[in-house]
């Protein structure tokens, strides 16, 4: 019993930082509909700024003052981010802002490295709170007790702000219907900035408050991100009580998991999330999202049309040039182009889901990495020849996508996206944990193609054939009746169904098809590199694809491919420089602001304005 109580208290103390960061994220999403991936970076900044302040301000007053000031400072940084980066792109297509926040992450990472240096900082102790209290004989650190007392008060203060004040009324109104709030004469810009500042300040506060339990390091931004998103989704996006309850549930379950199932540390919270979303599709306290509210932001999409003859000629000429690369290019040029081609196919497969299907998958790496792993497992454990593995792996990935899609398609919008992320993460932890079969994070090595393909030139042609072929097939399917049905289901589910389209089935098939193509890209990848590691299933890989698709242009057919080719090429150049993340982040933000329709979309728009391209259709 004593042990049980002690565990409960530990869990509640852990919930503190998690809740602060999560409720900030939840507030921001609720009002501005921005999925703020830079929230972890704000948390990290809170920790670093708090650390520096604590070094300079003495005593208990200095300590608690530093925490408060860190919150305020991060709030101000939040205002800067909102005004400079996000405000220009509020009218961009759905979820486009998350790409901008990704750029912010990269910038903050390098700036933090420049300012505070690479070494981990150990957080200062809270003055007078070193040591433990004995509660029923069990030692509990004093600071834990302080945390679990403070948090409910902060939660109460927030609750008061949201439910009892004029500001809170506006925030809640904006959460429910922000157009209406705008129509009633409320200055939305100020409201959005204010909420973003408040959310950022809470993240900073969370970062500074956890200092005595740990410290500040350069990896903490990504490490907090997954748990925070899980908490926000379980609680219901936009709900404060939900965030608190979910933070407590996750933290307490985690403490018990550590004790009774020590190996569970990687998966537990994702399992909880899947279970909760199965029972309550909008989280514990979330509301159903109003259809169309953020699906139709921005200009309506143009109908698609087949490429004109001149475009076809240009594509043919370009392909011919690529096919001649082995003649005039170096061996490395072929390797780099192979990488780019594979990534283009991966991005195109996601673009098919995202652009044509309107299905935002945060976990597309599951099929890319899944395909790579199926091929590698077949070669390693069944000694199957490369050709067989190459045939079976994309099929396996497609089947996995069908199974996962079948579950996820019960949900919509951000909840759908988060569920796909959860499944990708479950697959990742399965591969990571099941060392005897998958090699864990030591991966599977020596997965090379058959002899006839083993030269760089042969494999380059092989990758060229399948990548370009795959992209053309994806494009062809977009123009087929199936593609039309898919877009109909995206634009208006009800109308599509009334014309006899089984939207559920169409979307599921599209999910499986995109998974198959993603798996094909993964299979090409594994044989080109000769090894595969869990990195290929990571969240980061899913986001690589997501970001290039958005930057290329969601509402254009070639957006995914163009974005992938452009950014993979730029990345290869930039990583040669010292502070490449800073430059990359700024480049992403620049593209987001200058070309809110993506690279391809904005070029097309410019061309129409200059009368180079005729209006009325996209190629």
Partner 1 sequence: MQRKTFLRAMIASAALAAMPLATWAQDTIKIGEINHYKRLAAFAGPYKQGIELALEETNAAGGVLGKPLEFIFRDDQGEPGEAVKIAEELMTRDGAVMLTGTILSNVGLAISSFAGEKGYVYLASEPLADSLVWGAGNKYTFRLRSSTFMQAAMLAEAAAKTDAKRFATIAPNYAYGKDAVAAFKENLLKLKPDAEFVAEQWPALFKIDAGAEVQALERAKPDAIYNVTFGPDLAKFVRDGTDRGLFEGRDVYGLLSGEPEYLDPLGDEAPEGWTVTGFPWYDLSDGPAGEFVAAYQARYDDYPRLGSIVGYMTVQSIVAALEKAGSTETEAIREAFEGLQVASAMGGIEFRAIDNQSTMGAYVGTTALQDGKGVMINWEYKDGANYLPTDEEVLKLRPAE
Q: Which parts of 188-217 interact with partner 1 (CB under 8 A)?
A: 213-215, 217
Nearer to partner 1, 79 or 129 (CB): 129
Distance set, CA 142 to CA 133, 251, 343, 385 (Å): 6, 18, 51, 61
575 binds partner 1 (CB under 8 A): yes
Closer Cβ to partner 1, 7 or 492, answer by number = 7
For residues 426-465, which are near partner 1 according to CB under 8 A? 432-433, 435, 439-443, 445-446, 448, 456
CA terminus-to-terminus distance, the chain: 68
Please tell me the distance from the alpha carbon of residue 46 to that of residue 160, in angstroms, as a whole number: 24
Closer residue to partner 1, CB minimum distance, 68 or 113? 113
Whether 62 contacts 70, CB under 8 Å:
no
Using CB under 8 A, pick the residue from 89, 558, 592, 595 that binds partner 1: 558
- Write down the least CB distance from residue 192 to partner 1, Å: 32
| Residues in contact with 490: Cβ distance below 8 Å, sequence separation at least 6, in sequence order | 356, 357, 358, 359
Q: Is 530 in the site for partner 1 (CB under 8 A)?
A: yes
CA distance 23 to 270: 19
Q: Between residues 84 and 219, which has the closer beta carbon with respect to partner 1?
A: 219
Q: Which stretch binds partner 1 (CB under 8 A): 11-19, 192-200, 398-406, 414-422?
A: 11-19
d(CA 216, CA 70): 13
* CB-nearer residue toward partner 1: 80 or 465: 465
Extract the tokens encoding 115. Answer: 């300012």
Q: Minimum Å distance from CB 594 to partner 1?
A: 15
CB closer to partner 1 out of 290 and 321: 321
Least distance CB 61 / partner 1 (angstroms)? 23
Q: Which two tokens stand for residue 165?
A: 């004040």
* H helix runs in 261-330, sequence order: 268-279, 309-323, 325-328
Which residue number, 408 or 524, has a Cβ lying nearer to partner 1? 524
Give the residues across from 133 on adjacent strands. Answer: 140
What number of chain residues touch partner 1 (CB under 8 A)? 101
Q: Of these, 415, 533, 543, 550, which contacts partner 1 (CB under 8 A)? A: 533
Q: Could you tell me the two tokens for 123?
A: 């957080």
- Other Cβ atoms less than 10 A from the Cβ of 586: the count is 15
**Which positions from 311 through 370 interact with partner 1, judged by CB under 8 A?**
311, 314-315, 318, 321-322, 325, 328-333, 335-337, 339-340
Q: Which stretch binds partner 1 (CB under 8 A): 27-35, 57-65, 298-306, 549-557?
A: 549-557
Which residues have C-beta within 8 Å of that of residue 56, sequence separation ≥ 6? Answer: 62
Within 377-416, the residues that bind partner 1 by CB under 8 A are none
CB of 171 to partner 1, least distance (A): 32
Find the part of the chain contacting partner 1 (CB under 8 A) among 29-37, 57-65, 358-366, 599-607. 599-607
Site for partner 1 in 220-259 (CB under 8 A): 220, 223, 227, 254-255, 258-259
Instruction: Tell me phi and psi for residue 414, to 5 degrees.
Output: -65, -35
Query: Segment contacting partner 1 (CB under 8 A): 162-170, 178-186, 510-518, 574-582?
Result: 574-582
Using left for φ > 0, alpha for ψ between -120 and 50, and beta otherwise, residue 84 falls in: alpha
Residue 42 sits in the site that holds partner 1 (CB under 8 A): no
d(CA 65, CA 127): 12
- Minimum CB–partner distance for residue 240 and partner 1 (Å): 24
> Closest approach of Cβ 29 to partner 1, in Å?
23
Say if CB 612 and CB 619 are below 8 A apart.
no
The string of DSSP codes covering 387-400 is HHHHHHHHHHHHHH
250 or 485: CB nearest partner 1 = 250
**Closest to partner 1 by CB, 289 or 536:** 536
> Which of residues 477, 488, 569, 593 is near partner 1 by CB under 8 A?
569
Contact present, 398 and 424 (Cβ < 8 Å):
no
Contacting range for partner 1; rule: CB under 8 A; set: 9-17, 85-93, 286-294, 490-498: 9-17
In this structure, are residues 436 and 430 in contact, taking their beta carbons and an 8 Å threshold? Answer: no
The reply to whether 619 sits near partner 1 by the rule CB under 8 A is yes
Q: Does 3 bind partner 1 (CB under 8 A)?
A: yes
Are 365 and 545 a contacting pair, CB within 8 Å?
A: yes
- Site map for partner 1, 278-317, x if CB under 8 A? -----------------------------x---x--xx--
Of residues 40, 29, 21, the one with CA closest to residue 205: 21
Residue with tokens 């748990």: 227
567: which residues sit within 8 A by CB, 6+ positions away? 547, 548, 551
Q: Is 607 in the site for partner 1 (CB under 8 A)?
A: yes
Stretch that binds partner 1, among 274-282, 290-298, 507-515, 550-558 (CB under 8 A): 550-558
Q: Which residues, 116 to 145, sit near partner 1 by CB under 8 A?
A: 118-122, 130-132, 139-141, 144
Give, as ranges, the residues between 77 and 116 that touch partner 1 (CB under 8 A). Answer: 113
Question: In sequence order, which residues have a C-beta less than 8 Å from that of residue 471 and are 6 or more positions away?
Answer: 344, 345, 348, 561
Residue among 187, 263, 450, 502 that touches partner 1 (CB under 8 A): 263
In angstroms, give the least distance from the CB of 474 to partner 1.
13
529 binds partner 1 (CB under 8 A): yes
Q: What residue has token string 């399917």?
A: 477
| Contact of 375 with 526, CB cutoff 8 Å | yes
Q: Which helix (H) or strand (E) holds 531?
A: strand 531-532
């Amino acid at each position: 019993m004593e042990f049980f109580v002690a565990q409960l208290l530990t869990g509640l103390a852990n919930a503190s930082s998690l809740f602060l960061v999560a409720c900030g994220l939840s507030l921001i999403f609720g009002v501005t509909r921005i999925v703020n991936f830079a929230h972890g970076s704000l948390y990290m900044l809170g920790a670093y700024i708090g650390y520096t302040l604590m070094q300079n301000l003495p005593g208990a007053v200095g300590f608690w003052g530093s925490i408060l000031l860190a919150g305020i400072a991060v709030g101000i940084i939040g205002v800067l981010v909102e005004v400079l980066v996000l405000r220009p792109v509020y009218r961009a297509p759905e979820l486009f802002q998350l790409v901008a926040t990704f750029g912010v992450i990269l910038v903050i990472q390098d700036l933090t490295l420049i300012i505070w240096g690479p070494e981990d900082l150990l957080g200062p102790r809270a003055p007078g709170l070193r040591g433990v209290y004995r509660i029923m004989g069990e030692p509990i650190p004093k600071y834990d007790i302080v945390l679990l007392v403070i948090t409910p008060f902060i939660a109460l203060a927030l609750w008061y702000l949201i439910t009892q004040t004029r500001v809170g009324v506006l925030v809640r109104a904006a959460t429910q219907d922000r157009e209406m709030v705008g129509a009633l004469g409320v200055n939305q810009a100020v409201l959005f900035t204010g909420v973003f500042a408040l959310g950022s300040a809470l993240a900073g506060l969370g970062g500074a408050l956890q200092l005595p339990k740990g410290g500040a390091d350069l990896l903490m931004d990504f490490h907090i991100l997954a748990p925070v998103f899980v908490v926000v989704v379980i609680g219901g996006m936009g709900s404060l009580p939900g965030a608190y309850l979910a933070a407590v549930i996750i933290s307490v379950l985690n403490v018990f998991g550590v004790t009774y199932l020590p190996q569970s540390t990687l998966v537990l919270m994702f399992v909880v999330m899947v279970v909760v979303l199965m029972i309550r599709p909008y989280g514990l306290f979330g509301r159903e999202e109003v259809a169309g509210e953020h699906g139709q932001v921005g200009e309506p999409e143009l109908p698609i049309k087949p490429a004109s003859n001149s475009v076809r000629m240009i594509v043919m000429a370009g392909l011919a040039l690529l096919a001649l690369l082995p003649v005039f290019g170096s061996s490395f040029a072929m390797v780099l182009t192979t990488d780019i081609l594979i990534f283009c196919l991966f991005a195109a497969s996601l673009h098919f889901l995202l652009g044509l299907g309107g299905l935002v998958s945060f976990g597309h790496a599951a099929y890319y990495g899944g395909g790579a792993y199926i091929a590698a497992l077949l070669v390693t454990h069944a000694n199957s020849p490369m050709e067989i593995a190459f045939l079976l792996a994309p099929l396996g990935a497609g089947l996995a996508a069908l199974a996962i899609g079948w579950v996820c398609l019960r949900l919509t919008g951000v909840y759908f996206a988060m569920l796909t992320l959860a499944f990708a993460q479950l697959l990742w932890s399965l591969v990571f944990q099941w060392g005897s079969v998958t090699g864990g994070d030591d991966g599977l090595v020596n997965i090379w193609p058959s002899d006839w393909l083993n030269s760089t030139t042969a494999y380059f042609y092989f990758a060229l054939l399948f990548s370009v072929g795959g992209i053309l097939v994806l494009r062809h399917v977009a123009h087929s009746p199936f593609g039309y049905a898919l877009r109909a289901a995206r634009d208006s589910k009800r109308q599509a169904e009334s014309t006899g389209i089984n939207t559920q089935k169409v979307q599921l098939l599209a999910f499986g098809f995109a998974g198959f193509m993603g798996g094909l890209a993964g299979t090409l990848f594994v044989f080109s590199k000769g090894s595969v590691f869990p990195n290929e299933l990571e969240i980061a890989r899913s986001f690589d694809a997501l970001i290039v698709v958005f930057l290329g242009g969601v509402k254009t057919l070639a957006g995914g491919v163009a974005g992938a080719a452009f950014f993979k090429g730029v990345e290869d150049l930039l990583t040669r420089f010292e502070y490449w993340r800073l430059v990359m982040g700024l480049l992403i933000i620049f593209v987001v602001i200058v070309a809110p329709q993506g690279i391809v979309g904005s070029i097309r728009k410019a061309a129409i304005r200059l009368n180079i391209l005729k209006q009325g259709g996209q190629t």
